[in-house]
A and B are shown apart, each in its own frame.
Chain A
Amino acid sequence: MGLSYRMRLISICIGIFVMVGVGFLFKSLLLPNSFGVYGPYRADAIKEAAQVPIRHGTNDSCFKCHPFEARIQKAGLHKTISCEFCHGTYADHVTEGKKTGILPVKTGKEITTLCLRCHNTEIKARSEKVIKTVALPNHLKDQQVKLTHTCNQCHHVHAPLKYINRAKQITGLMEKGI
């Protein structure tokens, strides 16, 4: 009541400063845990990023239960190919050590399409040092097979030269270097 207008304004200013102070107090109270440990961010976010579930298990995890395929694949030229690229991820197949899902197996034309992702000469970007490429249908003509043949009718998909080398051994062509 007795306050002059001037004094009122001064007290209002003080009030504003107090409110700003309270605001900053709230700011520090609401700061998330682990914020600022390494920098202006939540250090726990690193931990969370490290705990994202793994879905690709690597070839070795597949081979544990598939020793037969493992033996073939590891011996062939396709040893660098990931099982999970063609078949899908480990996580879609196994949960906590138990098989929980069936992974698709490519068949027929799908296989040819899959092979040509890497082995198509037409793309003209594939160094011979890195990969052997073929052009379809020339390759089928050269090998004197039907043009409707899919790749896996001659090539084992997990070890492409497995049958071919075997056939050459049997016919004795291998020794002649043909």
Chain B
Amino acid sequence: MTALASTGVVSDSIGSATMLISNYVFPNDLHVHWSLMIVLYPYITGLVDGAFIIAALYYLFDVKSLKPVARFSLLFALAFLCCATLPLLLHLGRPERNLNMLLTPSPSSAMAGFGYIYAVSMGVLVAILLFVYRPVLVELRASSKGWLQIFYRIITFDSIDLSEDALKLDGKIIRFLVAIGIPIAAVLHGYVGFIFGGVKANPTWSTPLMPVIFLFSACVSGISAIILAYILIRKVKSRPIDNGCIATMIKTLTGFFILAFSFEMLEVFSHSYLKTGYHHMVEGLLNGPLASSFWFWQVKIGSVLPLLILGIMGIIKLRPYLYNFLAAGVSGILLVQVLIMRWNVVIGGQLMSKSARGYTEFHPLWFDKEGIIAVIIVMALPFVILFVLGKIVPFWAEDNEV
């Protein structure tokens, strides 16, 4: 056999007119330009989106059982949204020019809206939090001095009015802000999906399903993160866990996950059924370079297993301890699943050369601007922010009510 055959030549199955994947990669395609940081960016905005959904369910749709985590999910969303631009800045070749995005956004580019969408979502989220935490902030203002007091005066809108009328108004404003926050959050993340979905040159990316898949998987990762964080923090602090709240979140998670997984599989199914132009590349990708990270890790371990667990949790009545244990476990798996899914989309898509004849390779570096260490630092930062915020304002509803 030839040397080529031994390096894993794959051919599609259209009879004799097969298109041989002879491992030819265009010379400029050897390098993967969108690496770990672009895997991380949609992951972080996804966490923001999912956490925001939990808050929205409570503040807008009056799902009362979510009260314990509603405020926390907003803080969680803020902590991650603060760091969402970091991976992008680390990725840019000329990060000092980032304001060009705001100064000269090209009307034809999907990416150009980023600066504006990000600014608006940040503004809305901060505003929601200021109104949600206003009673707490007013108290803090009273007990602080100097510059800190001026700061608190500003963020409480220089008002210590906590009358019933004022709080009622706050409630209305929060509902309004959350209502506009939902489409903004959906746009913030959906458009990330569209950035990929709009690349016609890449056969695995260019599907209108891409924003939908991104949105649902975002909800999955965000809700999972809130479940896991809630259970872990409460356990560490030896405080009781609200079982009703966990159950509601798990049910919501199940719904979103079924949708996310269905759409992910629908995309693969459509590709293999339609067998359009570059289908052989997609098929070769999923069964070649991505065979283990897609089929084994994303689908079998990351999706089928959680679906089984979620099914058991939904059908069988489990003891609260076991239920919470499984909830934490399944959330952990799903958090990793969504990260793997982002990897498979972002990195996987770029492994296909546009020559339609071969795949390149990608090995992440440890010490690089976009390396593994940088990823760990970027992912750790939101938790530092969350820790600091937790020192200032209470996370959970009942802590404050005592």
Contact = CB atoms under 8 A, between A and B. Distances in A.
Nearest to A16: B123
A30 B157 contact: no
A75 interface: no
B104 interface: yes
Interface stretch (A5-13, A85-93, A100-108): A5-13
B316 interface: no
B180 to A, nearest CB: 13
A35 interface: yes
Contacts of A27: 102-103
A5 B103 contact: no
B159 A35 contact: no
A12 B159 CA distance: 12
22 contacts: A5-B157, A5-B159, A5-B163, A5-B166, A6-B169, A8-B158, A8-B159, A9-B157, A9-B169, A9-B173, A12-B157, A16-B123, A27-B103, A30-B99, A31-B103, A32-B103, A32-B104, A40-B104, A40-B107, A40-B108, A41-B104, A41-B106
Describe B's contact surface by its main secondary structure: loop
A5 B106 contact: no
A32 B157 CA distance: 37
A32 B163 CA distance: 51
A4 B160 CA distance: 10
A87 B262 CA distance: 62
Contact of B169 (A5, A32, A40): A5
A5 B161 contact: yes
Contacts, number: 31
Given A5-B159, A5-B161, A35 B104 contact: yes
Interface of B: 99, 102-104, 106-108, 123, 157-159, 161, 163, 166, 169, 173
Contacts of B102: 27
Interface string A14-33: 00100000000001001110
B73 to A, nearest CB: 24
Interface in A82-127: none
B103 A30 contact: yes
Interface in A19-60: 27, 30-32, 35, 40-41
Nearest to A27: B103
Contacts of A40: 104, 106-108
A129 B296 CA distance: 55
Nearest to B134: A5
Nearest to B106: A40
Contacts of A12: 157
Nearest to B108: A40
Contacts of B161: 4-5
A10 to B, nearest CB: 11
Nearest to B173: A9
Contacts of B106: 40-41
Nearest to B119: A23
A6 B106 CA distance: 39
A31 B104 contact: yes
A30 B107 CA distance: 18
